[in-house]
Structure 1
Amino acid sequence: MFITASLLAIAVQAVDQPVPRAEYLQVMDTEFAKMDADRNGMVSAAEVAQKLTNDTTMQAYAQNRQIFQRLDIDGSGQLSPEEFAGLIAAPPPADTTNFMARLDLDKDGQVTLVEHRTVMLATFDNIDADKDGIVTPAEMQNAGTQ
């Protein structure tokens, strides 16, 4: 469920306008392609783990930069050992269990684009309360509170 929610969040970041189903699908296909490292049209647990690890690492780097800037009070570009101790550690290994359980519909250890689309579009359809093919900010907010 985490990865589905994460992908949904990517698709609707800063949603202040309705999101048509076709646009949502295009974003989800792009995210699938980013995970499909070997470009074989399927996503393995290893590929998902690598993508999640990369994403988590990039988030950690961004957080480290923010923390460094906050800790570098004199703006010298250097931290004392005491200041440095406040930086976050490397991210833990990615856990693909939830992703694979939710998206690997035939349980073969691979997620095809069809499986990915099936789950992502079902998620979209669940959020699209009035079933008009467009997710509004209000529908997105309601989905986030459920």
Structure 2
Amino acid sequence: MEIYTMTNTHEKWEKTAAFAEKCSWGAGKYLAELMRKDFFKDWERVFAVFEADEPVGFCTLNEKDELDPKYPYTPLIGFVFVDELHRGKRISEKMIKAVLEYAKTIGYDKVYIMSGEKGLYEKYGFSYMGDFESIYGGKDQLFVISI
């Protein structure tokens, strides 16, 4: 298993975008669109997990993800997905650790994530902050971890 920290110049960028576009999660298509439109800022990254040279999971680190821009919290992990056939191997945990390591190298001491999942991110060390407005009009849970 390899975890790649990617920008749009990475050799596995398009393969990851194609995987995201065809994955079972609807948000994958949106991520693929963002990747192909060069949406990400200089420091933002897409993380992808490959096994046998095939993508099996992805996530992002960016400024706001789905958090309403009026809140001061940044950066956020987003688009966390692992293919169903590869779940149960702690791939999400390994991706999140890679994201946290990267965030620390670029000067962050906290990282946030929004999620509707209860009990998932707490097991990785995140703490619930409350329900915050998203860019989609509703509210979602915001979690934080110090790194």
Higher strand proportion (structure 1 or 2): 2
Looking at secondary structure, tell me which structure has more helix per residue: 1
Q: Which of 1 and 2 has higher RCO (CA within 8 Å, sep 6+)?
A: 1
Name the larger-Rg structure: 1
